[in-house]
Amino acid sequence: MRPLIWFRSDLRVDDNTALSNATRSADDGAVALFVISPAEWKAHDYAPARIDLMLRSLAELSRSLDALGIPLLIRAAPTPEQVAATVVKACIDSRCDAVFFNREYEVNEQRRDRAVIDALRAKNIHASPWHDQVVMEPGSLRTGAGNVYTVFTPFKRAWIRLAGEQGGVEPRPSPRKVASCDVRPDPVPESVAGFECPRAVSTLWTAGEKHARTRLTSFIEERGRAYKDRRDIPSVDGTSGLSPHLAIGTISPRRCIAAAVAANAATKSPLDAGSEGLVTWISELIWREFYVHIVSGFPRVCMHKAFQQGTDAIRWNDDEAKFRAWTSGRTGIPIVDAGMRQLAATGWMHNRVRMITAMFLSKNLFIDWRRGERHFMTNLVDGFLASNNGGWQWSASTGTDAAPYFRIFNPVSQGERFDPDGVYVRRWVPELSSLGAEAIHDPSSLSPLALARLDYPMPVVDLGRSRLAAIEAFKKLRPA
């Protein structure tokens, strides 16, 4: 057998289910394939920063595969509908008789993969899809009634219970080196038209699985145990920074969880007891799993639909000026503006600030959460549909969140709590750098003369009144 391994969002050699199994099946060499599909990427709102990181990681992957005797082919599919024919042709040209790939769970990806499987079967080529993107395969966890979990806490309990029954979380075996074949690798392009990334953003993100593994090790050893206490402070490096690598698959969730468990080995229940920092980080990884299961079980969330279908009746504000104030970081709310400017400058935003900015758009400005979801995806280096959609619907109270719809963050209070000295705000909103901690999160409280000296707008909305208006709008959706 000569298998073809079709890479997508799994750009690594380590702990790669399809690759590991393909090399164990190969007795006549193996070939790898990556399909450049700009129209598909545009339809998915992928950010230039994400594509840039992906291409640079793909170049490293090509070198790692070469060391295993596997050439990497680069092919282009002008439209999503041409992906199937592209994969089949690459398989035939390389004289491969099977295609191994790791499943993706978004609705368009599942349709694409079904089309590929059908096209391969028509040519008598074996299709071998594998579960890899999350630890627990969608469908493997069900409620007592046999339904998909729609609340995180019972999902997490079931996830941990199943992990225990399976003997823990173990990475896949390393791939084997295969016999060389007569297929030559293709060069990886440095860029793709329509996804050019500014160098100032590109240089912020080191590519490849080797860096991802190094960052995982340093996080676990240096910051993991303090994660619970520091993860919500946007001015410090308290998070793992691995979300871009999880998004494109230069590291696996299994490898991350296994590393956290190994560091937390002193406890009998390392997934949910012991170091509060490590188990909190594991919980965040399980949140990612939860949202993938939601995407798989409720495809409508991939199609611009609310998880809570009744909220589709909400009439959102169509205020373009306020939306542009939000995207440009000129709302007059410092913590919101700092987050939006960080996103524009770096392709990333601290997770606590993502929640603050998302809730401000959807609750205070009462602008459709889908507009914010798309803006994030088109800018985020770690854009991942399941997590981004889940986070936005959580913030807008249209998603799976079990908390009441009237839970609305006050962004001023959030800034005072998580950035008490204003370090984060001063970095990204430098026109406020002269203000003391007592005023930096609410400069509108200054005297008119002091405010006039700042090149900073007044708030675009009254926080108190807009909060009450949002609550009233949600109340109308509920029966008396």
- Least Cα distance to 4 among 15, 14, 12, 26 occurs for 26
Q: Would you tell me how many other CB atoms lie within 10 Å of the CB of residue 171? A: 17
Query: Which member of 137, 170, 317, 351 is catalytic?
Result: 351
Active site residue: 6, 41, 159, 392, which one?
Answer: 392
CA gap 141, 155 in Å, rounded: 8
Cα 55 to the center of its chain, rounded Å = 17
Structural element, H or E, at residue 335: helix 334-346
| Active-site entry in 281, 369, 394, 428 | 369
d(CA 10, CA 14): 10
Q: Residue 387 half-sphere exposure, CB side, CA atoms within 13 Å?
A: 20
Residue 300 is classified by DSSP as G
Q: Check residue 332 and give left, alpha or beta (phi > 0: left; psi -120 to 50: alpha).
A: left
List residues bridging with 427 in a β-sheet: none
CA 261 and chain centroid, separation: 22
Contact 188, 58 (CB under 8 A): yes
Structure tokens at 134: 């999350």
Strand 72-76 relative to strand 98-102: parallel, antiparallel, unpaired?
unpaired
Tell me, yes or no, if 392 is annotated catalytic: yes
Respond yes or no: is residue 369 known to be catalytic: yes
Amino acid making up residue 259: A
List strands edge to edge, sheet with 72-76. Answer: 72-76, 31-36, 3-7, 98-102, 126-130
Per annotation, catalytic residue among 137, 316, 317, 416: 316
**Backbone angles phi and psi of 317, in degrees to 5:** -70, 140
Query: Among residues 108, 137, 170, 284, which one is catalytic?
Result: 284
Task: Report whether 254 contacts 15 (CB < 8 A).
Answer: yes
Task: Single out the catalytic residue among 281, 287, 348, 428.
Answer: 287
Annotated active-site positions, please? 284, 287, 316, 351, 369, 392
